[in-house]
């Protein structure tokens, strides 16, 4: 069914689209990753991570921009892979995307749960590891329980989350610059940037991974393509404007924090700055009461991000199942409350499992839980989403040359090449940056399991390779039908 036929209307303008992207990009992430970024680079030169993360987001954002502008429907990656790769591999690629999304989406939510537990530790300094585990599991269960109903007025929850996040971020930035010491922020250690030294590039890859994690969400409007006004103009601008604006906020936050808190404190696991750096900034500048207040706001932000993330994530396998590209059981709704039961339960369980796994892999000093989660989710994303989408731009230009492209990638194919190199750096260094965790191997195993699941599913559904390919050039067909529709 086309998006128009489904009753979706194009009402999201440029301002709203940019705000939607920004609200998804900036949640709990910056409050918990600043110490990780400092650890990756080994000093205040960590600002490099935010800059290169933004450059990768911009290059990859232009991939999303061309695909979103030319295929402006609901589903984002799912639609792009379906249209581009149906000619050779049938429904395999969109199936694998949904399969991997069922892992990386809840892993993103696991980072929110871990961030919540970390900041709760500021208000509850005696919390043990076991108690933290129980709190995290309780948060996962509470989110699923709250979503176990007909969810109305989600827009209000999103607006409230956005407002709390904005207050939290600007409270930290303003407090930091009232007690800012340039010598702390801008005095880099000797040999901070040694391009010929392997350890620098290992830290660079780790910082790039953390940076792109913090920018994730710049593509949100591409998933809402069927509801965006003039997508050929609005989608590319909303992506670029959001990335530039968030980069400015992140740089102010990073530099402001470094100007108040000694960067060495962020590397000390026994120092509050290593786990609750925003609370440490507020305590140093405005006192314990202000720090407690902002910590509560950050806890609300973390909970809301998990709530809205699982709400949206549970719909991904549901939409694919209804479109005949995933297991039919994921397409069933609760008989009374009308929400996708299996998608919600599955992603809730994976969120809880990812949270526990990250907290108990290796030693906390060698493998901080957040670092483990970020690495796992980014490596899973690389193969089926990032690299496949980059290839999809070129495939669609060759397979569907007549497709209307209101926006064509600037300097094509340079942004695709830059984005591809960036994602490959993240992927290639993942094992070295996380010895003993084996994120590359886990990602390959997950994709291989997805391929096996697809073979089982395709055999039951009698589709390729156990049946004919169904070539459905949905957007080209709609484009050809436009003159007929207007004549009638």
**CA 82, CA 396: separation in Å to the nearest integer?**
11
Q: What is the mean pLDDT of the chain?
A: 88
Q: List, for residues 11-54, the tens digit of each pLDDT value.
A: 778 888 888 888 778 778 888 999 999 999 999 999 999 999 99
Q: List, for residues 132-145, the tens digit of each pLDDT value.
A: 999 999 999 999 98
Would you say residue 280 lies in a domain? yes
Q: Could you tell me how far CA 111 lies from the centroid of its own chain? A: 10
Which residue in the block uniquely carries the two structure tokens 């000694």? 262
Would you say residue 9 lies in a domain? no
Backbone angles phi, psi at 141, to 5 degrees: -65, -40
DSSP 114-151: HHHHHHHHHH-TT--HHHHHHHHHHHHHHHHHHHSS--
CA angle 369-375-381, nearest 5°? 135
**Does pLDDT of 256 surpass 70?**
yes
Cβ–Cβ under 8 Å, residues 385 and 443: no
> Predicted confidence band at 366 (pLDDT cuts at 50, 70, 90)?
low
Q: Where residue 194 sits, what CATH number does that domain have?
A: 1.20.1740.10
Range with the lowest mean pLDDT among 7-11, 184-188, 297-301?
7-11
Mean pLDDT of 215-219: 90
Number of domains forming the structure of the chain: 1
Would you say residue 2 lies in a domain? no
Q: List, for residues 285-338, the tens digit of each pLDDT value.
A: 999 999 999 999 999 888 888 887 888 788 788 888 888 899 999 988 888 877
Q: Which helix (H) or strand (E) element contains residue 157?
A: helix 154-178
Which domain, by its residues, includes 205? 14-487
> Predicted confidence band at 485 (pLDDT cuts at 50, 70, 90)?
very low
CA angle 423-390-431, nearest 5°? 20
Q: List, for residues 384-417, the tens digit of each pLDDT value.
A: 999 999 999 999 999 999 999 999 998 999 999 9
Would you say residue 102 lies in a domain? yes
Cβ–Cβ under 8 Å, residues 172 and 253: yes
Residue 7 pLDDT = 46
Mean pLDDT of 143-159: 70
């Amino acid at each position: 069914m086309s998006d128009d036929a489904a009753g979706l209307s194009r009402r999201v303008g440029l301002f709203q689209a940019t705000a939607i992207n920004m609200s998804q990009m900036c949640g709990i992430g910056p409050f918990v990753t600043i110490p990780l970024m400092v650890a990756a680079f080994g000093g205040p030169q960590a600002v490099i991570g935010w800059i290169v993360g933004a450059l990768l987001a911009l290059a990859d954002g232009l991939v999303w921009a061309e695909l979103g502008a030319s295929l402006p429907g609901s589903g984002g990656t799912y639609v792009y892979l379906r249209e581009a790769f149906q000619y050779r591999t049938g429904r395999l690629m969109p199936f694998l995307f949904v399969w991997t999304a069922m892992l990386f989406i809840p892993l993103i939510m696991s980072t929110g749960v871990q961030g919540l537990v970390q900041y709760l530790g500021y208000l509850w300094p005696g919390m043990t590891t076991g108690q933290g585990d129980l709190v995290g599991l309780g948060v996962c269960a509470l989110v699923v329980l709250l979503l176990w109903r007909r969810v109305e007025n989600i827009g209000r929850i999103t607006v409230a989350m956005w407002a709390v996040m904005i207050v939290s971020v600007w409270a930290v930035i303003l407090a930091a610059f009232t007690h800012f010491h340039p010598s702390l922020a801008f005095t880099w250690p000797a040999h901070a940037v040694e391009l010929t030294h392997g350890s620098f590039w290992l830290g660079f890859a780790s910082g790039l991974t953390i940076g792109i994690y913090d920018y994730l969400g710049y593509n949100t409007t591409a998933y809402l393509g069927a509801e965006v006004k003039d997508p050929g103009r609005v989608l590319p601008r909303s992506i670029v404007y959001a990335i530039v604006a968030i980069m400015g906020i992140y740089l102010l936050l990073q530099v402001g924090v470094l100007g108040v808190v000694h960067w060495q404190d962020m590397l000390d696991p026994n120092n509050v700055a290593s786990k609750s750096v925003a609370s440490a900034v507020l305590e140093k500048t405005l006192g314990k009461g202000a720090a407690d207040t902002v910590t509560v706001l950050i806890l609300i932000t973390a909970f809301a991000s998990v709530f809205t993330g699982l709400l949206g994530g549970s719909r991904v396998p549901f939409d694919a199942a209804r479109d005949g590209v995933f297991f039919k059981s994921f397409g069933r709704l609760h008989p009374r409350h009308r929400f996708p039961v299996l998608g919600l339960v599955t992603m809730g369980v994976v969120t809880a499992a990812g949270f526990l796994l990250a907290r108990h892999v290796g030693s906390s000093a060698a493998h901080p839980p957040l670092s483990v989660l970020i690495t796992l989710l980014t490596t899973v994303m690389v193969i089926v989403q990032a690299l496949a989408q980059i290839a999809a731009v070129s495939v669609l230009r060759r397979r569907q040359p007549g497709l209307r492209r209101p926006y064509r990638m600037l300097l094509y194919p340079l942004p695709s090449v830059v984005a591809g190199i960036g994602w490959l750096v993240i992927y290639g260094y993942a094992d070295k940056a996380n010895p003993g965790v084996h994120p590359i191997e886990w990602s390959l195993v997950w994709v291989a399991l997805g391929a096996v699941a697809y073979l089982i599913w395709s055999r039951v559904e009698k589709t390729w390779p156990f049946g004919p390919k169904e070539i459905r050039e949905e957007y080209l067909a709609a484009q050809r039908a436009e003159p007929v529709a207007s004549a009638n």
